[in-house]
Each structure stands twice: as structure tokens, then as C-alpha cells.
Amino acid sequence: MTKEPSPAERQSYQASATLRLHDVRYDPHDIAHCNPLPDGRVQLRIQTEHAIIGGRLLVYDDGTLHTLDLQQLHDCSRWRYWEVLLTPRQPRLGYSFHLLTARGRPYYVGGRGLTSAVETRFELDLSQQPPTTPPDWSQHAAIYQIFPDRFCNGDPDLPLPPGRQVAWGSAPRPATFQGGDLVGITQKIDHIHALGCQAIYLNPIFQSPSNHKYDATDFYRVDESLGGNQALRNLVDSAHARGMKVILDASFNHAHPTFFAFQDVVQRGPKSDYWDWFTVYQWPVSINYRPHVVPPGWDTPAMREYTAYLREIEQQAQIPFVQQDDAGDLFEPNYMAWYDVINMPKLNLHTPACRQYFLEVATHWLTEFDVDGWRMDVAQFVPDDFWQDFRRVCKAAQPDCYLLAEIWGDASHWLQGDMFDGTMNYLFRDLAIDFFADLTLHPADLRDGLLRLDALYAPQVAAANQNLLSSHDVARFLHRAGGSKTKLGLATIFQCALPGAPGIYYGDEVGLSGGGDPANRGAFPWDESTWDRGQLDLTRTLVQLRESHPALRGGRLRWLTAGKHAFALERASDQEKIIVAINRGPRAEKLPLPTAGFEKIFCFGKPATSRRGQLRLAPQSAVILRPSSAP
């Protein structure tokens, strides 16, 4: 843009702005704030403190000035979020925000921040900033996560590590196997399909001596204990025949010490062609071992067993353990490893050959096995430019593939359209745990957390995030809820009512419990007499209800009202409007919520009643409503 702002554009409120610094946040490089849409419009969002009560967007794109009023999106205790949709007349445009304070003073925000009059605009070139579009299916899916060794043993004859197999249903331990495999997943796929899940996310399956397989020895082979490569082909074919997707999981941050490239380094040192694939502080490669050091929690039979498993690396990888009697860690490698875990030497993806190897791994499984996406472990430890290359090659190989990151916290940096499509949404999980399991959040606090989370990501990204209650890395929700089936039921309703893909961790749907790792990795109980039929039916109903109602999948979120323990929210799309009301409390509550003209499409607990503009919710209950005239 070359033309200077006009007088009308500099001061649309016809007055100089207040220069008192208010907290106003807008980042034109974050798609949560500046979001080009596939239909050609641009969604802009700005975040302000409460001193701002309104405003305008001024757009200059065709030689004339256009003004659009900001609409309030959310109002939290700390922030107001504003939104405006504009339809550009040209692909290049300039714009600025003209805000109004509660004292009636203007507050102008341009390309260089607060100013008394707009002298520099924000500039947007849509030819350089295409829409960010996660796969459509990922924005509507319910995702079923499986830890393969613990789901179903479909072929008891598959080989398992000698001396480490235990009976199905045994207490989970870090180093033992219970015999689950991909054959079993294929045999039980109709259980997953009957839930209404559209995608299966498998924890790692590549060749590895561990049960979790995040320390792969061969990234081109499915472990024989899981059935090998053919078992994956069969599973993918079975899933696709039912209209379901398959997502693989791996760590490209580290590998096992017996990975071919690291073994070459062990044997040849600096002469190895793979020397710069890793960081070795001193050669020969070795591990300091201090048997007199007992880390907290390790003095148990399970952890002594795990220590013995780690000691096997000495023979497996030909890496000597050097016993030390000084202070330090139990194990201390002289090579860089993820969190110094000795069976996970860190990969150097800055090295071109190493990078190319793993980019080819990524595309191999997409093209040769027709899998539908990747969930990438510890994504924040891998260079950003690798993920940018990773996205480029994956989307070229399969444009509709889904790329999911493991990021604990604010994942905005990785969700700008150049790396990942979505994240495992641990921010959502914390809200659900605090409100429903631990009862430490008041509804007003839940409202703040929920609305801030809704504004944190662009809507299409929020829709593609995996909203989980449990996973292989955290205690199962039922455990955190003290075994309360009611709390799990209410949290599942909450999970299926919000933007995002509900993530169901295998067994949660039948009441499987378990604390932190490894207790959260218990064997699926295939004796149906032990199942919580109520939770199973609830999960099926909610996933299928979500599939039947566009508003529950893609509708805008609006907080309606709250009481002491109860709240109501709305999801609204162009097709319909849905109200979800939940009471976690031990007593009935009334919410000021006119529901005349609405009908119940789902109830949990005793039915809700409505009278004189108030919705009465029974203790520990929920209801989902829609307009009675809806089809």
C-alpha cells in the first residue's frame, strides 16, 4: 500500500486518541487474529481489556475507505474478544482498528500499535497468506486412541520379548507385554465403529524392544509382536471399508540405540557417515551407571524390573555401562538423549541427510500403506523448519492427511498453517479435570477458561484439535474422578458439546480406570460382564448425536448462564442452534434460561424441567435442547 491514510482514516472518531496505555492485543501473524477463509472473507479478532466498549475496523482496499463495526465475541473477567468479518475487494489491503473507551475516548491501533492518529496501517496480502484448512474430516471426527499392546490379543502366536510376557489383564508395568496386536484391533474394529468414531489413532507400532515403542529401531517395519506390516495393511483396509481413518504415531525426535544410524556411530565414531545425525559428547559411546542411586519411586519390583530392562542396552547396542560411585543420576549417557533417557538418543534433524531420511519415512506410510495422518510425539523438541518440511511433503503425498502435534499448553505457534493441523488439547483436559473431577473450578472460572480457549485458536483449528479426557501420558479421567461414573458421564457430555474432535482413550467407554503411567495402560477388559454399560451407551449416544447435529461439530460457542454448580452454553451454526446445560452439583439448580420452543434431544440423570423462563436441572444431570421446529 503506497497511499497515505486519509484524514477520515487517521481519526474516524474525529478526535485524537487517548494515549493512556490500555491492554489491547492483536497479532496479524497469528491466524487466531487474522484468518483468511476459503470463501474469500477474512475473519479478524482483537482482544481488549474491559475499558474498551466497542470499535470499528477501517479497511482501505480499492481506493476508498470502508468501515465495519466490531462485534463482541466473548466477554470474560479479564478480556473482551471482538470479531469482524470482511469481504476484501482486492487481494491486497490495509486496515486499522478504531476502538472506543468507556469514557468515550477513541483508541487507535495501527500497524505500529497505539497511536494518536493512524499513520501506518496493518497490511495484508491474501496472495501470500492462503487459508489454513485442516482436513474436513478431522473437524468432524471422534478419535479413538489405542495403546496397541493393551487393546486385544488377536494372534497369541506372535513373538514377544522372552521373559517379559504377562497374562492379559495383569497390573501394567513399564517393561512387560500383554500381547495386544494389530490383528486384535482389526478383529474388534466393529466395537470402535459402533461408537461412531471416524478415526483410530494408534500409539507407535514400529519395531522396538519396548511396549510403548517411542524408541524405534526401524521406522520402516511394523513390530512383529504387533503382526508386522501386513497386519497394518489389513487394519487400514478394514478401517477404510467402514469409512474410518487410521493415524500413526511416532517420535522423530529420538530413536533406540540399536537404530542403524546410531549403531554405526557406536562402531565407527567420528568416521561414521551418521556422526552428525546425533550429538555425542565423547567417543567411545558409553553410559555412566550408579547402582547406589535410587531415584524417588524406583524402589519397587516394577522399577527394578525396568532398570534391568534398561541394562539390556549394554548387550543390545554394544554400549558399555561404566559403574561410578560418585553423586549423579542413575544412568548418565555421554550422548544427547531426550531428557537423558538412555534408550532415546536424540536425532539431529538439522543434518540434511537425517532430515531427508525422516521426511521419506513420513511419506512412505502415507503412500505405501494409505494411512491417513500422523500424531507426532514431543513436537516442541523438533526444529520448526523440519515440521514445515514435514507438512509440505505429507500434504504433497496425501493432501487430506491429518497432522496432529503433541503440545502441552498453548500450541498456537505450531498451528499457523505451516506445521500442524491440530494438537492434543491438554488445555481442554485441564478444564474438564478441574471442573468435573476435582471440583476446584467455579462455573465463572470455567467460563473464563473455556472462552479464552475458544479464542486462542482460529475456529477451523479449534475444530481439528483433539479434546481428550485421558491418554497414555496422564491418569485416566475415571481415576482422577475417584471412580465416579457420574463425573465421567458429565465430562463426556462436556467433551462432545464443545468445538474440537472428542478423543476417546481405549477403555474409557466401558469404565476402565488407572492412574499415571504405567497404570493408565491397562489391558482392555473384553469380558463384557465387567463393562460399565451406562458409560458405553452414553458414549455411543453422544458421539452419534454430535454426528447428527452440525451445530455440535462446527457451531459457534456462546456461554449463556451459570449458577453455583450449573451452567448452560450454546452451539449455533447456520443450520441449527443447540443448548447444552449441565449441573455437576449435589442439589437441583435453576438457571435463568427461557427454553420455550425448545425440545429435549438428550437427558442425563433425572429430566430437566422448564417453567417461567427458568430451566431446572436435577442434581448431577444434563440436558441438550434444540428448537422444536428443527427437522
Same domain, 32 and 61: yes
Q: How many domains does one find in the chain?
A: 4
Same domain, 461 and 363: yes
Q: Which of 105-109, 286-290, 615-619 has the lowest mean pLDDT?
A: 105-109
Q: Is residue 158 part of a domain?
A: yes
Q: Which is it for the CA torsion 157, 176, 154, 466, positive or negative?
A: negative
Same domain, 16 and 90: yes
Q: Which is it for the CA torsion 502, 508, 511, 516, positive or negative?
A: negative
Q: Is residue 2 part of a domain?
A: no
Tens digit of pLDDT for each residue in 56-95?
Answer: 999 987 778 889 999 999 999 999 999 999 999 999 999 9
Q: How far apart are CA 199 and CA 203, in angstroms?
A: 13
In the three-class reduction of DSSP (H, G, I as helix; E, B as strand; rest coil), residue 24 is classed as strand
Same domain, 220 and 360: yes
Among 546, 442, 537, 532, which Cα is nearest to 478's?
Answer: 532
Tens digit of pLDDT for each residue in 215-256?
Answer: 999 999 999 999 999 999 999 999 999 999 999 999 999 999
pLDDT of residue 178 exceeding 50, the answer is: yes
- Per-residue pLDDT at 2: 43
The mean per-residue pLDDT over the stretch 292-300 comes to 88
Same domain, 223 and 369: yes
CATH code for position 28: 2.60.40.10
The mean per-residue pLDDT over the stretch 337-344 comes to 96
The mean per-residue pLDDT over the stretch 498-524 comes to 97
| 547 part of the active site | no
| 4 part of the active site | no
Residue 521 burial (10 A CB sphere; 0-12, 13-18, 19+): buried
Containing structural domain, residue 596:
555-627
Q: Is residue 132 part of a domain?
A: no
Q: Which of 66-70, 228-232, 297-301, 502-506 has the lowest mean pLDDT?
A: 297-301
Domain boundary among 519, 548, 577: 548
Same domain, 13 and 105: yes
For strands 466-468 and 501-505, give the pairing: parallel
Q: Which residue has the cell 470479531?
A: 83
pLDDT of residue 316 exceeding 60, the answer is: yes
Q: How far apart are CA 553 and CA 547, in angstroms?
A: 7
In the three-class reduction of DSSP (H, G, I as helix; E, B as strand; rest coil), residue 616 is classed as strand
- Per-residue pLDDT at 1: 43
User: Where residue 116 falls among pLDDT bands split at 50, 70, 90?
Assistant: confident
pLDDT of residue 16 exceeding 80, the answer is: no
Q: Is residue 134 part of a domain?
A: no
CB 214 within 8 A of CB 221: no
For strands 34-36 and 609-611, give the pairing: unpaired
Q: How many CB atoms lie within 10 A of CB 91?
A: 14
Same domain, 169 and 289: no
Same domain, 311 and 416: no
pLDDT of residue 580 exceeding 80, the answer is: yes
- Per-residue pLDDT at 105: 87
Tens digit of pLDDT for each residue in 427-441?
Answer: 999 999 999 999 999
CATH code for position 157: 3.20.20.80
Q: Which is it for the CA torsion 529, 164, 342, 213, positive or negative?
A: negative
CATH code for position 619: 2.60.40.1180
Same domain, 32 and 175: no
Q: Which of 248-257, 261-270, 294-303, 611-620 has the lowest mean pLDDT?
A: 294-303
User: Where residue 120 falls among pLDDT bands split at 50, 70, 90?
Assistant: confident
- Per-residue pLDDT at 4: 60
Q: Is residue 1 part of a domain?
A: no
Q: Is residue 273 part of a domain?
A: yes
Q: Where would I find the H helices in 7-107?
A: 7-10
Tens digit of pLDDT for each residue in 127-151?
Answer: 999 999 999 999 999 999 999 999 9
Domain boundary among 70, 96, 125: 125
Torsions phi, psi for 293 (to 5 deg)? -90, 125
Q: Which of 377, 421, 508, 589 is catalytic?
A: 377
The mean per-residue pLDDT over the stretch 328-333 comes to 94
Instruction: Please give the mean pLDDT across all residues of the chain.
Output: 95
- Per-residue pLDDT at 170: 97
- Per-residue pLDDT at 5: 62
- Per-residue pLDDT at 11: 57
Q: Which of 406, 454, 532, 589 is catalytic?
A: 406
Same domain, 145 and 162: yes
User: Where residue 348 falls among pLDDT bands split at 50, 70, 90?
Assistant: very high
Domain boundary among 125, 149, 170: 125
Q: Is residue 22 part of a domain?
A: yes
Q: Is residue 130 part of a domain?
A: no
- Per-residue pLDDT at 65: 86
What are the C-alpha distances in Å from 499 to residues 422, 495, 558, 621? 12, 9, 11, 21
Q: Which residue has the cell 483410530?
A: 200
pLDDT of residue 631 exceeding 70, the answer is: no
pLDDT > 70 fraction of the chain, expressed in percent and rounded: 97
Q: How far apart are CA 12 and CA 558, in angstroms?
A: 31
Same domain, 395 and 540: yes
Same domain, 17 and 66: yes
- Per-residue pLDDT at 486: 98
pLDDT of residue 6 exceeding 70, the answer is: no
- Per-residue pLDDT at 432: 98
> For the sheet containing 143-146, what is the strand order?
422-423, 402-405, 373-376, 245-250, 199-202, 143-146, 501-505, 466-468
- Per-residue pLDDT at 3: 57
